[in-house]
Structure 1
Amino acid sequence: MKKIRVIVVDDSALMRKIISDMINSEDDMEVVDIAKNGQELLNKISNSTPQVITLDVEMPIMDGMTALKELKRSYKNIPVIMLSSISQKGTQLTMECLESGAFDFIPKPSGAISLDINKVKDELVQKIRIACDKNITSDAIKEGKPQMPMERTYQRNYISKLKNDKIESVVIGASTGGPKALYTVITALPANLGVPVFVVQHMPVGFTKAFADRLNANSDIKVVEASENMPVERNVVYIAPGGYHMEIGLDKKIHLNLEPAIWGVRPAVDKLFISASKVYGSRIVSAVLTGMGKDGAQGTVEIKKHGGITLSEDKSTCTIYGMPKAAFETGMVDAVLPLEEIAIQIIKLVSGGGR
């Protein structure tokens, strides 16, 4: 069996050893090289021909952010998984890395030197497998002719036939690849959109504040990390905090809870979508963006049952075509759109011009 070839980059010799041992313990992957900083990685990569790279965010000589930018110039098809400590600097740099093309990230549970990093072993090896599969798929697509899903034009035409209820809210869900996708969508929304926007991005505790702050700094519309009992206002984007389900109450306030994870995640897109459908009925637009799994599919069904408008991201622009596919396969999605058209369609629907 061919093994997935991985390079591990971390400035700590102990962390390189622990991470390498975790990867090598899997039958389908192997560490083919290690590096203690970004510069050493760039010096070694041509001889190691890795399929996936795990890259520490904070390192001396050349940090993960700088190394990632260099990698994307010459080795843009090699997926990179960032490993980040949950510090103010670490979380901010991680958000920049995701915007700059990192495939995903894994939090170090206890800081730069995490002796308990085995806690995230299952998540790490799963993401390595998915990143490798995605890379192979992307290369195969590039060699052939791009496929335009047949449902896209048909479903888009369907939107014009929907009833003219005024839209009062937008809900969006995303997972793997979501930070970059959401950056594309949110930064394209106007300051005076006219409705609140609620977002669930699968992200661990400690990172959503930095994510919201970065979106806010680069968007016309206001973006905040949601908190318990926060009143819902128009022209604000609310990001669900890591570790909490976010629901919209009939009192038009945000409510957070620690109920069990759904599909292995908390916050869950389904929790948000289902609660919002009960509050806004047919006056809502939902969008399911890139991500693995099927979170958001059940919520899409509920929104459609209440008469809302449902969108999903087209496979051609997804990092992972899992969640959007699951949503589409419910038969309840009104439009399948490439990422760059999601914000355009949201604006049209909210303004009444997309029906």
Structure 2
Amino acid sequence: MVGPNLKVLVVDDSALMRKALKTMLTADGDVEVVLARNGEDALDVLSREAPDVVTLDVNMPVMDGLTCLARIMAEHPVPVVMVSSITEQGAVTTLEALELGAVDYVAKPGGTVSLNLSEAAEEIRRKVRRAAASRVRPGSLTARLRRQREEAHAASRAGRAPRARAVPVAGGGTRPAGPSGSGTTDLVLVGSSTGGPALLSALLSQFPADFAAPVVIAQHMPASFTGALAHRLDASCPLAVQEVTGLVPVLPGHVYVARGDADVVLGRRGGDLVVRPAPAGAAHRWHPSVDRMVASAMEHVDPARTVGVLLTGMGDDGAEQMAQLKARGGRTVAESEETAVVWGMPGQLVARDGATRVLPADQIAAQVLAWG
């Protein structure tokens, strides 16, 4: 529980960066900052100071950021914001950190530290405060779903079908989740933000290779990270995953990740469904915009044959258009408050009476498959 003052532990091996982050975070006057030079030092300070949030550098001597993060999640679970470079390797490492349980990340500025940090100050302060209000998720969902996949694989090798999992459906009751549904879904749209990358990996890993509908994802991220996200999802799930960098046909059983710092829209070319990036516009606050993705989809795909899924994230992006999707006969899922890192976007969908189902994260994929 955060009291009148927010205590932040800043972990970085650079004295200049520690000083800059401290100056930036204490600018509002209600934040106390404690410092650590590396991961080993951070664990010691963490046990003594009990901070509300940790900002954690990735590359440090003695103990690196990922090792430290894993120890934090196991020994002293607390919201962690990673401070990462925007290089390709930095993006990959950041996604690993998010799967380990980090709440969010900020790009470490390059070049002149004082100038770049000044420009990034508002974002870092905002994300630290957002993290303080979030729920810590130390990878328990991913581990649980991995065990389920291993059990299913073992059952398959033993020559027996894995037990069908009964899932709740709209209108009450349950039905088993079939391998590829009943063919009533032409398109699945997924929106997520803070806490989303790890959940997307867990969600898509439950989809079978013969899942018939295409999936389009709008995850709030900069362009320097969405390519790495698509590559990571492609390696961890049975479906083919790609980043949307140009106009591409939408194919059954494929997953399309919107490119960061832009929006993604669906359309028709020669009668075939296509997806393409679109310049981020001032009409939408967050990008890639979930609302814009869903609105464009409803122009070209029968809403009654569309499924919308709104996952964890701050704000209300996607809530209005997914509520419209439901009103026009579509089916929607809002992640429940009990598992969401931040129950902003899905909570707003529920507030608009726009959710057909409100489900914890580990039941969402089964529900989508049941609707098939």
Q: Same fold by TM (over 0.5)? A: yes
Unaligned runs of 5+ in 1: 137-151, 351-355
Consecutive unaligned residues in structure 2, runs of 5 or more: 137-166, 176-181
Aligned residue in 1 for 2:105: 105
Once the two structures are superposed, the pairs formed by residues 329-348 of structure 1 within 5 Å of their partners are: 329-348=351-370
Distance (Å, rounded) in 2 between the aligned partners of 1:127 and 1:307: 36
- Cα offset for 1:275? 0.8
Kindly state the Cα deviation for residue 216 of structure 1 after the two structures are TM-superposed: 1.0
Task: Tell me how far apart the structure 2 counterparts of residues 21 and 194 of structure 1 sit (CA, whole Å).
Answer: 52
C-alpha displacement of 1:133: 2.4
Paired residues of 2:183 and 2:212 also in contact (CA < 8 A): no
Shift of 1:305: 3.6
String of CA shifts for 1:171-214, please: whole Å, max 9, x gaps: 00001111121111111111110111000111112001111111
Summarize the Cα distance change of 1:236–1:154 in structure 2 as closer, same or farther, 3 Å threshold. closer
Match of 2:257 in 1: 239
Whether the 8 Å CA contact 1:199–1:239 is kept in 2: the answer is yes
Match of 1:273 in 2: 294
Query: Is the alpha carbon distance of 1:66 and 1:157 closer, same or farther for their aligned partners in structure 2, counting shifts above 3 Å?
Result: same
Residue 9 of structure 1 aligns with an amino acid whose one-letter code is: V
Task: Answer yes or no: is the 8 Å Cα contact 1:85–1:112 preserved in 2.
Answer: no
Residue 267 of structure 2: which of 229, 249, 264 is its match?
Answer: 249
Could you give the per-residue CA deviations for residues 247-284 of structure 1, whole angstroms, max 9, x where no partner exists?
01122111211141455212110011111111112211
In the other structure, the counterpart of 2:350 is: 328
Judge conservation of contact 1:39–1:67 (CA < 8 Å) in 2: yes
SS at match of 1:318: coil
TM-score (norm 2): 0.83
SS in 2 for 1:286: strand
CA RMSD, Structure 1 to Structure 2 (Å): 2.2
Partner of 1:213: 231
Determine if the alignment matches structure 1 residue 197 to structure 2 residue 215: yes
Give the TM-score normalised by the residue count of structure 1: 0.87
- Do the aligned partners of residues 113 and 211 (structure 1) sit closer, same or farther apart at CA in structure 2, a change above 3 Å counting? farther
What letter corresponds to residue 312 of structure 1 in structure 2?
A: A
Amino acid at match of 1:339: A
Residue 22 of structure 2 corresponds to which residue in structure 1? 20
Indicate the residue corresponding to 1:95 in structure 2: 95
- The one-letter code matched in structure 1 to 2:364 is I
The change in CA–CA distance for 1:48 and 1:159 in structure 2 (over 3 A counts) is: same
Identity of aligned residues (%): 36
Report the count of equivalent residues: 330
Task: Answer with 106-115 or 12-21: which moved more.
Answer: 106-115
Q: Distance in 1 between matches of 2:308 and 2:234?
A: 21
Identify if the C-alpha distance between structure 1 residues 114 and 188 changes in structure 2 by more than 3 Å, giving closer, same or farther.
farther
1:172 aligns with 2:184: no
Mapped partners of 2:354, 2:307: distance in 1 = 13
